[in-house]
Structures are given as C-alpha cells and as structure tokens.
C-alpha cells in the first residue's frame, strides 16, 4: 500500500450526495412552478453534473427550455446548493475508516470529481474529511474533465503519485471509462448512481460495500506490481 495512489470519485462513491442534489434541482425547477421530480429519476444524472440533473428534471416534467433559461435555473440551483451542500449528504458507511487505514499504511488519497472544485472542497470540509486527501480536483481544475483521461492523470500527478501504482474507485461508467483511458485499473461501486449495473462497464473489480474495498485494492496493486 506504501506509495500507492488511490483516487476516488466523490458523488455516489465517497459521499451519498443525492438528497441535497435532488433538493437543489427541485428548488430550481420550482421557479417554474413544476412539481418535484423523484429522487430515483434524478440520481442517475448526478455523475454528469448539475446541469444534466436540471435537463433531466425538465424532460421528466415535459418542459423544454432554451440554453439561457437552463443557465438561469443552474444559477438558482447553485445559489441553493452551496449553503445546503451537507444538510443530508454523508459519507457511505465504512468509507472513512478504510480511507484512514489506507492513509496509515502510506497510500496517497485523492478525489477526482466532475463537481466544481470549490463545491467539492466545501463538501469535504463540511464533512470533516478534507485532510484525508493529498489532492482534490474538479471539473474546472484542468482544461478537460472526466471521462477525459487527463483529468485522472492530472489528479495523480497533483497528488505526487505514479500511474503505475494507482487505482481509480468510482460508481459510474464515466469513472471506469476515464480510468481505462488513463491506463489505471478501476474498482466499481455498486451502491452509487449508475443507471446500469457498474459491472456492465467491466472494471477490474466490483465492490458492494466499503468493507470489500481493502481486499480489492490490494489485489489490483499486486497485479500491477506483477506486470511491472
């Protein structure tokens, strides 16, 4: 585990952010007097960002808007979400304990998310876990973002890590595709926000709980070392 770099997606992987993101989406849609959209309808759009959640919400209610109006709703979303970012969002069960274990064994931890960097930093700080991570990058940290491989490659570099001993942990096809393009093995989490089973995207390993993550990470790191 020493010198390994473990990179985590944020929404749906480290933190169950769906309740607060859904609340912000419905707050934005309420400006048009639209009814609330169910969480199950919106949660699969979370990995694509706030704008996609708004567009999905509009589609669900049968409304089509031009881009400036969607931008206005996005601004309304963000104005609500920022002060309410951690009202109900919580780390998934067992996540913090295993991350602390990884850190104690010398691993570098990083976050690579399509959330805007300021919001990602704020969420981690409000949850009291920011100090666990050597690097945090968001959709606006680099000229590109997931699924472009340079988002992950840049995150590993920012953490001072090496792709040859890195693992990406995520919950959607975006994460798995990013890792594959970057030449980094990936672990898919079944408890996240993917619209299809995450195993569909063929990650190198799949975990159903954080209790399984330690073993999966060690197996992938051992495989990487054997092939080096």
- Could you please report the per-residue DSSP string of 128-169? T-GGG-SEEE-TTSSSS-TTSHHHHHHHHHHTT--GGGEEEE
Q: What is the mean pLDDT of residues 141-168?
A: 97
- Terminal alpha carbon distance of the chain: 16
**Facing residues of 135 across strands?**
110
pLDDT of residue 225: 86
- Catalytically annotated residue among 9, 16, 171, 175: 9
Query: Does residue 104 surpass a pLDDT of 80?
Result: yes
Mean of pLDDT values over 165-184:
97
pLDDT the model gives residue 32: 93
Instruction: Please give the pLDDT value at position 49.
Output: 84
Residue 59: its pLDDT value, please?
Answer: 92
What mean pLDDT comes out for the span 196-204?
97
Tell me how crowded residue 188 is: count the other CB atoms within 10 A of its CB.
28
Q: pTM for this one?
A: 0.93
Retrieve residue 173's tokens: 């096809």
User: Does 213 have pLDDT greater than 90?
Assistant: yes
pLDDT for 93 equals 97
CB contact set of 224 (below 8 Å; sequence gap of 6+) = 164, 165, 185
- Tell me the pLDDT band of 1, cut-offs 50, 70 and 90: confident
Q: Is 150 a catalytic residue?
A: no
Query: Phi first, then psi: what are they for 151, rounded to 5°?
Result: -65, -45
State the pLDDT at residue 228.
Answer: 66
Neighbours of 204 (CB within 10 A): 19
Q: What is the pLDDT of residue 47?
A: 81
What are residue 206's DSSP bridge partners?
188
Cα distance between residue 203 and residue 41, in whole Å: 25
């Amino acid at each position: 585990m020493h010198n390994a770099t473990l990179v985590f997606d944020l929404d749906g992987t480290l933190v169950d952010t769906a309740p607060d993101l859904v609340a912000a989406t419905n707050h934005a849609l309420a400006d048009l007097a639209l009814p609330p959209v169910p969480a199950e309808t919106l949660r699969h759009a979370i990995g694509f960002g706030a704008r996609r959640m708004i567009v999905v919400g509009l589609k669900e209610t049968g409304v089509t808007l031009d881009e400036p109006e969607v931008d206005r709703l996005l601004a309304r979303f963000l104005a609500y979400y920022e002060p309410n970012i951690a009202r109900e969002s919580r780390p998934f069960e067992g996540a913090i304990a295993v991350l602390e274990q990884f850190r104690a064994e010398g691993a570098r931890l990083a976050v690579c998310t399509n959330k805007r960097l300021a919001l990602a930093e704020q969420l981690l700080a409000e949850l009291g876990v920011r100090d666990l991570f050597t690097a945090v990058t968001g959709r606006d940290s680099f000229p590109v973002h997931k699924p472009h491989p340079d988002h992950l490659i840049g995150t590993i570099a920012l953490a001072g890590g090496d792709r040859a001993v890195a693992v990406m942990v995520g919950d959607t096809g975006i994460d798995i595709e990013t890792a594959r393009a970057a030449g980094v093995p990936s672990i898919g989490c079944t408890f996240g926000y993917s619209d299809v089973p995450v195993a569909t995207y063929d990650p190198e390993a799949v975990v159903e709980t954080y209790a399984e993550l330690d073993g999966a990470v060690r197996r992938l790191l051992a495989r990487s070392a054997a092939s080096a």
